[in-house]
Structures are given as C-alpha cells and as structure tokens.
Chain A
Amino acid sequence: MRERTLRVDYLARVEGEGALHLRLRKGEAVEARLEIFEPPRLFEGFLRGRACTEVPDLTARICGICPASYQMSSTQALEAALGLEVEPAVRDLRRLLHLGEWIESHALHVYLLHAPDFLGFDDAIRLARQAPDPVRRGLRLKKLGNAVMRSVGGREIHPLNPCVGGFYRAPEREDLVALLPELEWALEAARETVRWVAGFTFPELERPYEFVALRHPQEYPVNEGRVVSSEGLDIPVAEYEEHFEEEQVPHSTALRSRLRERGAYLVGPLARLNLNADRLSPPAREALEEAGVEVPIRNPFRSIVARSVELVEAVAGVMVLIERYRPPERPRLPVPEALPEAVVGHGCTEAPRGILYHRYRVGADGLVEEARIVPPTAQNQASIEEDLRSLAPALAGMDRAEATWLCEQAIRNYDPCMSCSAHFLTLTLEEG
C-alpha cells in the first residue's frame, strides 16, 4: 500500500511556530496534524495574583499582532466582573482602536502573508519585485491601521492608553480628524483590494462548516455582541463555557476547542462575514456585491476575500467613528481596590482572527484569582486539520512540492497565530 507523508517542519508566513504532518494513503488522509510547538508562555498561570489594573498591559504581550484585542477582551471581562459601565464615547474609542488593529492585521495578512500564495511567490518582497504597486498599497494600508492604533492607543504594538475603566487620556479630536484624508484614500484602496483578491484563482474545497462569530443588534461585530453560529447557537458571552470546551492533545502546546454538541467550528473573517453580511456598512456591501461574491462563502481559500471586505468595513467604520467623535467626559472610571466578595466576569471581542474569550475571577482583595483565555487559533485548530484531510484527494495527484504548498496555503487561510494559541491554554482534559 502506497503511503505518502507530507511534512513541513516550520510553517512560514504565519505568526509563531508550527509544523504540519499529513499522512496520505490511497487518496485519503490517515493522519492530519497541525502541530503547534510555540513554547508555552503560561500567561494564565502568572496572571494570578496580579491587580486588575495590571492585566491589560500583561495580556497585550500574548500577541504583538493583535494586542488591542487582548486588551479589549480582558478589560471588558474585568469591567463586567467589577460592575463598571463605560460611557458611549469610550465604547466608540475602543471600537476605533480595535478597527485600527483589524486594518493593520488584515493588510499584513492579505498583502504580505497570503496573496503571495495565490500568485506563486515565496514572499511579498519577491512579489514586490514583479508587482510593486499592490505591495506598496498593502504597506500603506497597514501603516494607516498603525496610525489609528497609535492615535487612540498611544503605540501600535502593545498600546499603552487602554485600561480597565476606559483610557488614561482621551485623544484630541483634531489628531483623529487629521487622519481623514488618508482614510479617504484607504477606502478606495480597500475596495481595490477586494477587486484584486476576488480575481485570484481559488483551489476547490467546500465544507459544511459551523461558523461562529459575535452578533450585535445594529453593528458589524467588533467589540461586543452575542455568540452565534450558523447552526443556531445564540448565547450571551457569559454562557460561552457551557457550550465550548477545550481539549489538550499531545502534539500541540495549544489547546483545541470544540463545541460540546457538535465538534469543530470556524471563527474569523469568513464566519463573521457569513453571519453578519446584513450588518455591513454600505461601502463594504457594495464592495462585496461588486466582486460578485455571494455569502455564505464555504470555500476556505476565499477567506482572503472576506478579510478584504472587512478591510473596507474597518476603514469605513473608522471614518464614521472619527467624524462623530467628541472626547468622553470621563475617559477613565475608577477601579475599586477591594470588593465585598469575589466576582467573575466574561469578555469576548472579535480579534482579527476571530472571537477571543476571556474569563477572570477576582478576589475580594482586587487581585486576579483565576484567568482563562481562549484565542481564535486554538478554536480553529480542529477545523484546519479537517480542511487538510479534505484536501487529500486533490493532493494525491500532485508532486510533493506542489502538495506541500497547497497544504501550507490551506493553513494560511486561517491567518493562524501560534503565538496567541500557545500562550493561553487552560485547564483541559483529554480522556485516556
């Protein structure tokens, strides 16, 4: 019996360290493993005993690509625990910061990490030698995302301004308004991005995913909402753990999540768009229609299209928020140092790669007693492996180099972040 093993020892163009192991027999995958060997950093362990006010600075360091998402999920979980309610202008600022991160992260992934796959280049630098314009466009979009993050967060990597209770200092309106001319350019550049990627050739693969994302009554989901799925799940964030569980497998330092009732599921731009297309702003909806893409999109290789539509959504959203921005009266609510009793809070926001869930238990002394963090890549891990299995028949007819490339590309569909996923793992049990 002929067996073929495909191994990629170090996955490139993903954040963090992972490997791929695939064993094929007669056009079927007998084993498909995404191995995350990112060294564990044990965050949930050492968050214990820290004051609530220190948490956002610490959780930011889980990931340099999406630090604001970690800050947003943790501040909101802690505020829920402490019973703090920020004013709407603070809420807007958070959304602004978060959308800046989407722009930065999505531009990075679309242009520098994923597009080279579709065009047959090893990286964006080699792509830039042949086609400098798109790469420059991507870098300029990314730079704008960073500028938004810096204006609101004080720094693009590991922002300093967000805190439990709001922000240390509200940005000046004129500093934000100064970004508008570049945003005008970016709106067109983001629409151009959708046109560009929609014209790529996509490998064939469709699977009956269960998509999971936040859903908000009016907005495209970013910072808040209920957790919903394409199979009818619809729960408040606080019930997350009743429906999702994590398991630990020997080949990975990341825990994998499953829906208790149904197993693997998918989070991220594809899930968000499929579940929330009716909440897109007009420019993003137009871009989607213009590209001739219909939702739901079930081909994971088309996630780059969803990500690009979200670039339009994020740029348009930032413009609306800046136009209506008035500095909040109380940018920062005081955080109680002691509490009558221990409290628990849950938070979930949409990181660029999908929902990011946090739960904290805070003791009466105001120190964290227990932290739990479930990052998007850990949630997608099972889905990634199932995609690889489903590719087996296609791989059978390919030579090794071609097959390897396709598998890598399939993994990059998820924009996986190993740094995130390995940093979080929490109490999990695999039977046996």
Chain B
Amino acid sequence: MSDPRNGKRPRPKLAVWKLASCDGCQLSLLDCEDELLAVAGAVEIASFPEVSRAEIAGPYDVSLVEGSITTPHDLERIQEVRRQSRVLVAIGACATAGGIQALRNFADVQGLVGAVYGRPEYIRTLERSTPVSDHVPVDYELRGCPISKAQLLELVTALLAGRAPDLPTSSLCQECKQMGVVCVMVAHGTPCLGPVTQAGCGALCPALGRGCFGCFGPMEAPNPDSLAARWRELGLTPEAVERGFHTFNAWAEPFRDVARREDGR
C-alpha cells in the first residue's frame, strides 16, 4: 500500500456498502464508540453513506459489504464493488448467508410480494436472497446477526497490519462451556442450536437461560441432522424443528433442509 513517489504509506481507503439488510452490522462499527475515532484516523473513510455525504472515488483498499443480494440492481452493484475493491469483506448473516430475507427462498416469492404489496407489479425483486459469495469472490466473512464488534475490530486491525484475522470456527458449545454456563438442553430440555452454531457471541442466549437460535450460522462441519433428531426426542414437531433452523441463516447450506432430511429417515 505504499506510495512509490514518496515512500509514505497513504491511509488505506475503506468503503462500507449496504444491500438488503437492517443496517445493524454497519451500526456495529459505529457502536465501537471508543475506537471509532481511532479507526477513522487510521483509515480514510472513502464511502460510507450512512455516516457521510462525502464520497471519494474507488478503487478501495477494503470494502465492507452488509446485506444480501435480492434485486437485479444489487446484482450489478456487487460486481462493481468487487471490481473497485482490493479486499472485500462480507459482514453479517445477510451478506454471508442471505439473511432473514432468504426465508423467501423456501416460498413462492410472487405470493409473498402479493401478500405484502397491493401493487406487486411495482416491486422488482429476485426469487432468492443470496449471499455475496454466490456472485463474487469474497476475501473474508464475518458471521453474526449482527456481527460482533470484537471480531470487526480484530478484522480491521489485522487488515491494517497486513496479517490474517483470527476468527473462530468452533461451536458455540465450546464458548458456552468456557463461560461456565449450565447447558440449557441437558439441564432443562430447551432446544438449542449451540452444538452446530459457530462461536463468536459469547454464548449470550444460554447465559439468559434460553436456547441459541443460531445468529452466527453453522460452524465448520456441523451435524445438524443429529441435533434435529435430539429436538424431536424433546417433543418438537418436524415443523417446529424446521422453524428452529430457519431464521437468519436459513439459507446456509447445512441448515437448509434439516427438517426435510430428518423427516425422510
């Protein structure tokens, strides 16, 4: 990143983009209140419409992309963002798995649009909500709905230092045990997605006495079918099992057809 003319390192250019999303992952960056001004000093915020009217043309050193692809327009935009970005990071369940709006992928979209809008012909939307990596190469992914601030800061620091970020791939159960939380499934029979969900949140839900509902998406090599079988033993109907897996990461491969597979046994 050094400038050949004077040998000085210009500040890396950071851009933040939004597709179909709730703005929560971008807000996580603003929620790093203590570090925000330091980050803003270390990088040049070249495009971040939620925060600034100023816009500096690309190319960008790092692009953070929030949201999933749901419209023909965004399909074009993501290609352009990729062309303009040296490093592209997908942030959050929307950008890494299609997000909650991917629930449409299991339904008839025109029917859904018709249910929501009186004049569906005004609405242009794709049949499916898909993650960024379905369309362009992605360099890093941050999981979560929303992402974790700690992981975001780790990523930005690592990129600034030119090293690979240290992000977990193990299950939430591991994190939960480290925190010393009593297992809600073993102790209370509460359905929990912890065994198949990627760590990262600090096991917030089990600590409150409720089951994990999977905002960090599937861990590496999970076994969702065996977890679904356990849920059935706890008394859940196949429909309830399916709903359990079908939230913010419903379109992530391991979670897609759990209930159907379980049913087929």
Contact = CB atoms under 8 A, between A and B. Distances in A.
Interface in A146-166: 146, 154-158, 160-161, 163
Interface in B15-40: 18-28, 30-31, 33-34, 36-37, 40
Given A16-B23, A425-B117, A143 B34 contact: yes
A255 B117 CA distance: 8
Contacts of B33: 139-140, 142-143, 146
A64 B49 contact: no
Contacts of B53: 12-13, 122-123, 408
Contacts of A67: 22, 24
B185 to A, nearest CB: 15
Contacts of A155: 201, 204
B34 A108 contact: no
A125 B20 contact: no
A13 B52 contact: yes
A429 interface: yes
B218 interface: no
Interface in A1-54: 10-17, 37-46, 48, 50-51, 54
Given A64-B26, A139-B36, A143-B34, A158 B145 contact: yes
B188 to A, nearest CB: 12
Contacts of B213: 57
Q: Which of B20, B45, B113 has the most CB of A within 10 A?
A: B20
B31 A146 contact: yes
Given A45-B107, A45-B116, 9 more contacts: A12-B52, A13-B53, A43-B100, A61-B248, A64-B27, A64-B146, A158-B24, A158-B145, A249-B122
A124 interface: yes
Nearest to A16: B23
Interface string B218-245: 0000000000000000000000100100
B74 A39 contact: yes
Interface of B: 18-28, 30-31, 33-34, 36-37, 40, 45, 49-54, 67, 70-71, 73-74, 99-101, 103-104, 107, 109, 111-113, 115-119, 122-123, 125, 145-146, 201, 204-205, 207-210, 213, 215, 240, 243, 247-248
A158 B146 contact: yes
A112 interface: yes
B239 to A, nearest CB: 8
Nearest to A252: B122
Given A17-B18, A123-B52, A125-B52, A428 B117 contact: yes
- 4 closest residue pairs by CB, A with B: A64-B24, A123-B52, A45-B112, A122-B54
A10 B115 contact: no
A429 B118 contact: yes
Given A64-B27, A67-B24, A125-B45, A248 B204 contact: no
A382 interface: no
7 contacts: A45-B112, A54-B243, A67-B22, A124-B51, A155-B204, A157-B27, A168-B210
Contacts of A250: 119, 122
Contacts, number: 191
Given A112-B30, A155-B204, A168-B210, A39 B116 contact: no
B160 to A, nearest CB: 17
A63 B100 contact: no
A173 interface: no
Interface of A: 10-17, 37-46, 48, 50-51, 54, 57-58, 61-65, 67, 108, 112-113, 122-126, 128, 132, 135-136, 139-140, 142-143, 146, 154-158, 160-161, 163, 168-169, 248-250, 253, 255, 408, 417, 419, 423-430
A61 B22 contact: yes
Given A40-B113, A51-B243, A430 B204 contact: no
B128 to A, nearest CB: 12
Contacts of B205: 154, 160
Contacts of A142: 30-31, 33
Given A45-B107, A45-B113, A61 B100 contact: yes
Contacts of B23: 15-16, 63-65, 417, 419
B208 A248 contact: no
A16 B18 contact: yes
B182 to A, nearest CB: 13
A156 B112 contact: no
Contacts of B19: 39
B21 A45 contact: no
Contacts of B119: 248, 250, 428-430
Contacts of B28: 157
Contacts of A169: 208-209
Contact of B115 (A37, A44, A124, A125): A44
B66 to A, nearest CB: 9
Contact of A39 (B25, B26, B70, B210): B70
Contacts of A154: 204-205, 207-208
A128 to B, nearest CB: 6
B111 to A, nearest CB: 8
A347 B53 CA distance: 36
A121 to B, nearest CB: 9
B148 to A, nearest CB: 10
Contact of B118 (A44, A54, A157, A248): A248
Nearest to A404: B53
A38 B74 CA distance: 10
Contacts of A64: 21-27, 146
